[in-house]
A = this chain, B = another copy of it.
Amino acid sequence: MAQVNPTVGDLEGNSEIIIDALCRAREMRVDLLTFPELAVTGYPPEDLLLKPQFVERNLESLDRIVGESSGVNLVIGFVDRDSDLYNAAAVVANGEIAGIYHKIYLPNYGVFDENRYFSRGREVQIYRIAGVNVGISICEDIWQETGPAGIQSASGAELLVNISASPYHYGKGNLRLEILRARARDNLSAVAYNNLVGGQDELVFDGNSLLIDQGGNLLARGRQFGEDLVIADLDVDSIFRDRLHDPRWRDGGQILAERKEDIKRIEISGRALGGVDPKLPERHVDNLGYPSEVYDALVLGTRDYVRKNGFEKVVVGLSGGIDSSLVATIAVDALGRENVTGVWMPSMYSSSESEQYARDLTEKLGIRLITINIGKIFGAYIDELSGEFSGTGEGVAEENLQSRTRGNLLMALSNKFGWLVLATGNKSEMATGYSTLYGDMCGGLAVIKDVPKTMVYELSRYRNETGGNPVIPEGIIDREPSAELRPGQLDTDSLPPYAVLDPILEAYVEEDRGIDDIVSMGFDEETVRRVIGLVDRSEFKRRQSTPGIKITPRAFGKDRRLPITNRFVP
C-alpha cells in the first residue's frame, strides 16, 4: 500500500510520486501495489472535475503511469469518463489496464459532494491477481454493510482492497479499524485499506492505512500523518483453511451461488512475483491518544497548506495568550523555527505579563519577535472618527478597531515579505463570534479554528509534556483568558466559562441538539439560549472566515452549511 501525499490538480507531480513508489515496490518484488482514491488528481478535486481538460489530463497521467508499470500490478485511483464521470480504480497488470472499478456508494454529506460530480458504479468485480482473488472497492463502498465486500467475498475474493481518501477527525482511526475488522471477520477475507495522507485546504488525510487478516487481526498499519509504503505478506492459504471450517462458506452454497451471478471476473495473467523480503517493517499498532493525534493533524495540515500553496514562511500575532502561543508552536513544529515570525502588538490595554509571556514563548521557540505598538495608529483612527463618534460611549467599535489595526499590520508584513498569516482563533470563539472579522480573524490559515478552547489547553499541556522541553510558559496556560481590548476585560465577561461553553457548543454545532435536549444534559436554560443565539448570529462572520483544519466530527466550513439569513430559533 503506497500511502502517498499528492497535491490536488498537480497531475504532473502526482504522477511522479506514483511512479517513484511503483519503482520502489517493483524493486521489492511486490505482487500488488495499491494507491489511494483519486491518487492521480488528489482529493477532493471539487469543481476542477467540471473542466473537461482536467479530466483529460488525468487520463493522460494514468496512461503515463501505466506505461511505467511493467513488472508490477497496480490498483490506482483516477477519474474515469464515458458520458458520465466516475470515481474509479484502474487495475493495471503487464503494463496494461486490466479492468476498471467504479465507486458505488458516493458520499454526499458532511464535507463530501460526490453526487455533484460522479455517477455511481453498477458493477462488482473480482480480479485474480498473482494467484489471489481480489475484490476492489473505493472508500465509502466498504463502510456500507451491504456494499461490494459481501458479494466479492461470497464470490471467492480472499483479499478486499479498499482505496480511500478518508479525512481525519479525532477518533476516526478507531472507527475505521472497528469497521474494517468487522468487514474482514464477517467475510473471512483479508482487508487492505489504503488511505491517502496529507493536508488539502480544510482537510487532513491521516494515512493510517490498515492491513487486517480474515480474523480481524491487524497485520500492518501505515504511519499516521506521514507518507509510507506498507508491505506485508498475506497467508492466503489460511483464508482457504478458515473458510473450510466456517459454516457460512461450507453450508451457504445456495446464497453464494446466487450472489456469484452478479459479479464480473477478470483474470490477470501476470506472473505472481512472490517472495517479499521477509523482514516486515515494524509498525506501531497501538492506538494513539487524542491530544497527540490532533496535534499531529494540525502540524501536517499547517505544513501542507503552507507548502502546497507555495509559501515558505509564516507570521503569527502573539498576544501572550494560549491560542496564539499554541499556533506559533504548531507552526514551528510544522515549518521549522527559521520560518516563523511572531509579532507583539501592544496597546494601552496590554498587560506587562502578556508582553513577558510573548517574549518567553518566542525565546523558548527560538523564533524572531517583532514589536509594533498600535497606540498611535489607534489614536489616529479615533481622532479621525471623533466627529462622527462624538457623544457615543466607547464600545465594540473601539475594541474592534484595535483588533483590526493588528490584522492590518500582520497583512502589511505578509504583503511586504510574502509571509502567510496564521490566524489564531479557536473553535469556541469561531462558534460564538467572539472574534473580530477582518481583525484577529485575518489570515491565510486558521490553524486551531476547529479546536475548542478546552482542547487548546489539552494540546498545550500535551506539547509541553512531550519532546523534553516545555515551550509554552506555564503562566500562559494558567492565566485567565482575556482579549485585552479594554481595561480588565476577561472572556468570562461575555461568555460562560469554557468548561460550560464547550460541551454546549459540541451538542449544538456538532450534534444538532435542540435547546431542550441540551438543557436536559444539565445546563442552565438561559445560558444555553444565549450560547445558541451567539452561534446563530455569527454565521455571517464564519462565512468570511479563514479556512481552518478539521479535527472534529463537524467543523465549520463545508462540513456545516447554514444560511446567514435564518430566523430559526432552535
A interface with B by C-beta (< 8 Å): 7-11, 13, 44-48, 50-54, 57, 108-109, 113, 115-116, 199-201, 304-305, 308-309, 370, 372-374, 376-377, 379-381, 383-385, 388-389, 392, 395-397, 400-401, 404-405, 407-409, 411-413, 415-416, 437-438, 442, 444, 512, 514, 540, 543-547, 558, 560-568, 570
Contact = CB atoms under 8 A, between A and B. Distances in A.
B388 A370 contact: yes
Interface centre among A395, A442, A566, A568 (most CB of B within 10 A): A568
Contact of A50 (B47, B377, B415, B512): B512
Given A47-B560, A377-B377, A567 B389 contact: no
Given A395-B416, A438-B407, A377 B388 contact: no
A372 B396 contact: no
Contacts of A400: 411-412, 415
Contact of A567 (B10, B305, B438, B546): B10
A565 B308 contact: yes
A51 B566 CA distance: 13
8 A-B pairs with the lowest CB-CB distances in the bound complex, closest first: A9-B568, A10-B567, A397-B415, A53-B514, A397-B416, A380-B380, A377-B380, A438-B438
Nearest to A413: B388
A139 to B, nearest CB: 17
11 contacts: A9-B566, A13-B567, A46-B563, A48-B568, A51-B568, A108-B108, A380-B380, A407-B438, A408-B438, A411-B437, A544-B546
A514 B404 CA distance: 40
Nearest to A438: B438
Nearest to A570: B53
B568 A54 contact: yes
A48 B201 contact: no
Contact of A10 (B48, B52, B540, B568): B568
A381 B566 CA distance: 39
Contacts of A563: 8-9, 44-46, 48, 200-201
Contact of A113 (B10, B416, B560, B561): B561
Interface centre among A9, A10, A199, A546 (most CB of B within 10 A): A9
Contacts of A389: 416
A272 to B, nearest CB: 37
A412 B382 CA distance: 10
A8 B395 contact: no
Nearest to A57: B568
A8 B396 contact: no
Contact of A514 (B47, B52, B442, B562): B52
Nearest to A568: B9
Given A397-B412, A408-B404, A409-B385, A7 B570 contact: no
Contacts of A401: 408, 412
Given A377-B377, A400-B412, 6 more contacts: A54-B568, A113-B116, A116-B561, A309-B564, A401-B412, A405-B408
A199 to B, nearest CB: 8
A561 B93 CA distance: 36
A54 B570 contact: yes
Nearest to A516: B53
A561 B48 CA distance: 8
Contact of A544 (B408, B545, B567): B545
Nearest to A200: B565
A384 B345 CA distance: 11
A383 B388 contact: no
A201 B108 contact: no
A384 B377 contact: yes
B444 A52 contact: no
Nearest to A377: B380
Contact of A385 (B46, B108, B372, B570): B372
A207 to B, nearest CB: 18
A566 B512 CA distance: 32
Interface centre among A11, A109, A416, A444 (most CB of B within 10 A): A416
Contacts of A413: 385, 388, 397
Interface centre among A44, A199, A380, A545 (most CB of B within 10 A): A380
Interface centre among A108, A383, A438 (most CB of B within 10 A): A438
A564 B376 contact: no
Nearest to A558: B561
A406 to B, nearest CB: 11
A48 B108 contact: no
B568 A11 contact: yes
Contacts of A562: 46-48
Contacts of A370: 388
